[in-house]
Each structure stands twice: as structure tokens, then as C-alpha cells.
Structure 1
Amino acid sequence: MNTLCVIPVRGGSKGVPGKNLRQIEGRPLVVWTIDQALNTPGLDVLVSTDDERIAEVARSAGADVPFLRPPELARDDTPTEPVVRHAIAHRVGEGRSPDAVMLLQATSPLRLPGTLERAMSQFDSSGADSLVGVVPFAPFFWWQARDELPPRADYDVTARPRRQDLTSGQLRYRETGSLYLTRPWVYEQCDNRLGGRIELFVMDEVEGIDIDTEHDLRLAAHEMRRLAEIRSTPGGSA
């Protein structure tokens, strides 16, 4: 299966200025995702950016940066889907039409060894049209439709289960934003990264960290150090 891996990396960032080039454990943030993709067999890794500095860093890390993204695809309100379609069209124009498209967000730098290969394997074996990375959560959520109404729970408060006793059917799943795997026709026909037959790809809780704030940067760095320590310990496998 010919899989195009698109890593969209815009130069502007309001929450954490210049975050895609911020150093995290000795490397620019974007390089973590590039390295994970390049170390996964079968991925054609393309970085889509509007920023020449990011492009230089991405090329130095080994990614293909065949263009600078046009300004109309690099605004604050630009959705991700047209950015991915632009990358697909570029590859098609080169005569390299992909069978699948993996979308990786550079702001989710924590992915465990083998995660991307596992996603590709599940996508291929399941026959899915799109795969969405998620992390499991206990279903202890509340919501309030209107201020004058009492809040309601998404679970039976009279028979609250212990977290360790929850079955897969009782869990809820949060979309991480880290990883998507999609048939190209879904982008073309649905203008969406998700469509057709959708499968959940369950990731480790630590892989759900998404960097939007300075606190997120510190948290990601802490987890990277922790995982590195585990791997350096005899018998460690994280």
C-alpha cells in the first residue's frame, strides 16, 4: 500500500509563538513527528508548510518539502482538509497517487514505538475508509443543556462502576488529533479526514498530549524524559 504521510506545519501560532520550532528535549517540536514517520516503513513523508525556516528544518530532518504552501492555505482559519488535498494533488501530479493518506499533527509529538506501523496494519486489515486516533476515557461526564435545568450525567449515578471494572463498551474515546489514516477519495468526496467506514485506533494515554500552551510543552517534555528513562532501563519497553 502506497501511503502518503502529510505533516502540516504552519509558521504562525498564537497560543505558543513559533511552537513548531520550539526546542523540546533538544530537538525542534516538528522533528519528533518527522522522525517517527521516517522510521516507519512504507511512508512517503511530506511536510506542508508556509514557513521557509520550518521547511529548512524539515528538510534537514529528512522530510520531503516540495513546495511552500500558498498563502490562501496558511491563514489562521484555514481547515486542515484543503491543505491535505493540496498535498495529495501534488503527489498525483508527480504520478505518485497514494492508496492512503496518513495525517500526523506535529503538535502531538508523543507516539510510542510501533504506533504508526500498528495503525497502518489495522487500517489495511480492517478494510476501513478512515481511521481516527483516540485515547480511552471513563464515561464520568456531565452536561447541562440550560442553566435552569439540573445537570445530567452520561452514566448511572446510582450504579457507578469502578474504573478498573469498565468494559470496552462502557468506555468513551477522545479524538487525539494526533493521527488519521484515510482513503484519498474521502478527502475528495467528503472534504473531510473522516468518512466512509470509520474505525477507532486506540492509542496509549500518553500519546494524547496535544501542545496548545506552555504547560503542554512542559508536560510533553516531562513524558519524553520519563519514556526515555523506561527504555534505558533493562527490560523497559515503552
Structure 2
Amino acid sequence: MKVYAIIPARSGSKGFKDKNIQLIGGKPLIAYSIAFAKQLGCDRVICSTDSVEYKQIAEKYGAEVPFLRSAFAATDTAMEQDILLDLYHKFEKYDIEQPDIIVWLRPTFVFRDLALIKKGINYLMEHPEITAVRTVCDTEARLYDIKEGNLVPCFDDHGKSMIRRQDIGKRFKVFSTDIFRFGKDKLHEDFIGRNVHGLETNKICGLDIDDEIDFEIVKYLVESEMDEVQQFLC
């Protein structure tokens, strides 16, 4: 089966300008996902970007950028399925063999567990009934909404003002790394399908860079050279 690592790196971030190429430890952010993908041993490592500058940086660090992303897939409102549709048609146009499996490596996640992602790829290959594999990490379950100024629990608080985390049970967040099947029939909003296998990863792998504060936190951790951090860096 053909496995491609895809690094989606749009250039038009407004909240934190050019965050995908900001430097951490002397390297642009996308370089970490590229290095990780190369260690995975995927058949191809491709960066999907709309920017010539990003293309040159991605190629410098070892990714392929055989084409630039189409405008419709590079807007502020474009979603993953738009990028996947663009990839599918560009693969056809440039005579690139379509992959069977995609490893989706968002560049805003720097920390990843190499052995776990390899396990996820193998699991998807060995279980045809599974549509995708997602890494997940433990997150806070005691969340609240605010309705008309009042706090409303999004969990069963059993009528108590305080409740222990252990009494609610574990909850997980996703979006670090997705491994999913690719094909013409999967280019829609539910591209990962409904039979998704979850692999729990270390909480540090859930750190996502969305703004400058996130960036400074991740930058500090990377440059601290702590053993607990280095094991999740490539």
C-alpha cells in the first residue's frame, strides 16, 4: 500500500502571521513535521502550500512540493476536505500515483511519538474495517458553557459545586495526527469515516500552536532540551 505523508502549510494565517515558518530552535515550524515524516519511512513526503516561499523552505528540508495549492483550498474558510480534493486532482494532473493511506501532519504540532504513529499506520493496514486512526490525548472533562451570563456544565455535575475529575472519567481531544484512507469516494466532509481507531499519546503531543502565546510555550519547551521533550522531537 502506498503511504504519503502530507504537511498542509497555508501561508495566509492572520492571527499569527506566517506561523508555519516561524523559527523554533533555529528551524522553521514546518521542518519538524517534514523531519518526522522522513523518519516514518512514507513513500512520499509532500507539502501542500499556496506559497512559493513556503515551497522553497519545505524543499530545503526534504519535502516534495510538486505543485502549489489551488486558491479554493487556500482560503481562510477552506477545510481539510478541500485540500484533499485539490490533492486528488493535482495528483491526476501531474501523473502522481494516488496514495492508499495519508498521514496528515499539521505543522502546528511539533511533538509526536514516532513509534506510536508507525503503530497507527500498521494498524490501519492490517484492519480493513477501520477507516482511520487518530492520536488523542487526555484533556479536561469538566467544561462549562456560558448561557445568558450563567455557567452551565457540559457534563453531569450531579448537583455538586465541585466534582473530582476521576468521577467523570477520561475525555480526549484529537487533531494532532490523523492516518486515513484516501480515494475518490472519500473527498467529502466525513473523510476519516465513522470507524476510527484512537491511540492515546502523551499530553505534550497535544500542544497546538494557534497564536503567539502557544508559539512561545512550544519554543521554550523545544529549546529547553529536557529529556521529556526531546523524545517527541525529530
Both structures adopt the same fold (TM-score exceeding 0.5): yes
Query: Are residues 42 and 147 of structure 1, via their aligned partners in 2, closer, same or farther at CA, if it must alter by over 3 Å?
Result: same
Query: Are residues 101 and 142 of structure 1, via their aligned partners in 2, closer, same or farther at CA, if it must alter by over 3 Å?
Result: same
Counterparts of 1:78-89 in structure 2, within 5 Å, are 78-89=78-89
Corresponding letter in the other structure for 2:17? P
Query: Are residues 77 and 138 of structure 1, via their aligned partners in 2, closer, same or farther at CA, if it must alter by over 3 Å?
Result: closer
Residue range with higher mean Cα deviation, 66-75 or 80-89: 80-89
- List gaps (5 residues or longer) in structure 1: none
CA drift at 1:43: 4.2
Contact 2:131 2:194 (C-alpha < 8 Å) held by counterparts: yes
Counterparts of 1:88-237 in structure 2, within 5 Å, are 88-92=88-92, 94=95, 96-127=97-128, 128-144=130-146, 146-147=147-148, 151-152=152-153, 154-157=155-158, 160-161=163-164, 163=166, 170-175=169-174, 177-185=175-183, 188=186, 190-226=188-224, 228-230=225-227
Percentage of matched positions with identical amino acids: 21
Residues 54-86 of structure 1: CA deviation (Å, up to 9, x unaligned): 000111111110001122221111112121222
Root-mean-square deviation (CA, aligned residues, Å) is 2.7
Query: Are residues 186 and 156 of structure 1, via their aligned partners in 2, closer, same or farther at CA, if it must alter by over 3 Å?
Result: farther
* Distance in 1, Cα, partners of 2:119 & 2:4: 16
Contact 2:106 2:177 (C-alpha < 8 Å) held by counterparts: yes
* Distance in 1, Cα, partners of 2:179 & 2:7: 12
Contact 1:5 1:102 (C-alpha < 8 Å) held by counterparts: yes
Query: Are residues 209 and 187 of structure 1, via their aligned partners in 2, closer, same or farther at CA, if it must alter by over 3 Å?
Result: farther
Contact 1:139 1:171 (C-alpha < 8 Å) held by counterparts: yes
Residue range with higher mean Cα deviation, 92-101 or 152-161: 152-161
TM-score w.r.t. length of structure 2: 0.84
* Distance in 1, Cα, partners of 2:80 & 2:187: 15
TM-score w.r.t. length of structure 1: 0.83
- List gaps (5 residues or longer) in structure 2: none
Residues 104-141 of structure 1: CA deviation (Å, up to 9, x unaligned): 11111221342421321332344410222221124222
Contact 1:4 1:44 (C-alpha < 8 Å) held by counterparts: yes
Residue range with higher mean Cα deviation, 72-81 or 33-42: 72-81
Residues 179-227 of structure 1: CA deviation (Å, up to 9, x unaligned): 111111486364333213122222211111111111111111122234x
Q: How many residues align?
A: 228
1:60 aligns with 2:60: yes
Contact 1:37 1:116 (C-alpha < 8 Å) held by counterparts: no
